[in-house]
Amino acid sequence: MDHLDYRRGYIGTSMLGSIAGKIASTSHRVRSKTGRINSRVHEHWRKPAHMPTKTVDEDFEELMEELEAISNSCHDIISVNAQYMSLSTEVIESARRVANSVQNIDERVKALQNHIDKVQDRVALRDKALLSFDRVYDKFDGMTILSTTSEFTAKQKQEYHSLEKKLVELRRIYEDHNTALKRELPSFFMLVRTFIEPLMQFLFFVQLTAAYQVQSNLLTVSQDLDENASVTPLPLFRINTSRSSLRGQHDNMSVIGKKW
């Protein structure tokens, strides 16, 4: 009986302790909420009457900042790309004009090459005549030496006189070509120099101007890229997932609506 009374007393004490704990916990929560409410009420009364209450979600605002950075970066990319396309068009047009000029130069140089080919043909005739003259002269000189030691036969005399006539003819042909070349080549070279020197200067300055123009335009693009990068840098995406996983997530995004 005493044991039963003790147990009843223990159970009653436990229940009272549990109830007291719940009451204390509830009281603590009430005081905490009341404190926050009082704090908000206090802040409300400190604000001017015309200032509305503004609820801020910091996580969402951070996402909006990143979205704005991406949007600004897209605008900058489009702007820089437009400048690059304009530069590319300008370079292409300049290259086309230079190509037309160079094509005209190419035609004139080919005409000069035709003249050079004719000169080289004349030189080849001169060299051929000289080679023939030397060959006949060696044979004629040998027979001349032979004639001093022995008397020629009728056939040898006929051959000797034939070589002499042929040597005279070959000498005439050689001298005609050689004299003409020696007389005309200096004037030809002078004309060639008056054509080639301005041509080389033209090509040099055209290429130099094109190089400076391209360098200047590329420097402008580089400066624009640096300026845009300092104003609206590309966002640093804190994503470690794979591209296929991101594509799968994109397919389930309701705020985008369609694939890009």
Return the number of other C-beta atoms located less than 10 Å from residue 72's C-beta: 16
Nearest to 144 by CA among 136, 174, 133: 136
Which residues of 120-260 form beta strands (DSSP E)? none
pLDDT tens for the chain, 260 residues: list them. 444 444 444 444 444 445 445 555 555 554 555 555 445 444 444 555 566 766 777 888 888 888 888 888 888 888 877 877 777 787 778 778 777 777 777 788 888 889 899 999 999 999 999 999 999 888 888 888 777 777 877 888 888 888 889 999 999 999 999 999 999 999 888 888 888 888 888 778 777 777 777 777 777 766 666 665 555 454 444 445 555 665 555 565 555 555 55
What single-letter amino acid sits at 19? Answer: I
Structure tokens at 10: 């223990």
